[in-house]
Amino acid sequence: MSTPSKVSASLQEMEDDIFDVRRWSHLVDALGSAGVMIDPGALNVLAVPLRELGARLETRWMEAYRQSGGEP
């Protein structure tokens, strides 16, 4: 597989997670705009999937960067 194809494949693997970042932002915005108090523990539950999402994106981004000839 050529370098451009490898990079393209790596970027395509990130597509769902990138769209999920936007979806998460809509949820957090809605929660922040709610006229009711939200239990901090309930909001803390959001941290785990967001942290995992960020880690996946970082790993895939670094992979695509290396495949394009960049160095970490």
Q: What is the DSSP string of 35-52?
A: SS---HHHHHTTHHHHHH
Average pLDDT over residues 57-62: 92
Stated pTM of the model = 0.72
Across 14-23, 37-46, 63-72, the highest mean pLDDT is recorded for 14-23
Average pLDDT over residues 38-44: 85
Confidence check: pLDDT of 3 > 80: no
Percentage of residues in the chain having pLDDT higher than 90: 32
pLDDT at 59: 93
**Hey, where are the domains in the chain?**
3-67
- Sequence-separated (6 or more) residues with CB below 8 Å from residue 64: 7, 10, 11, 14
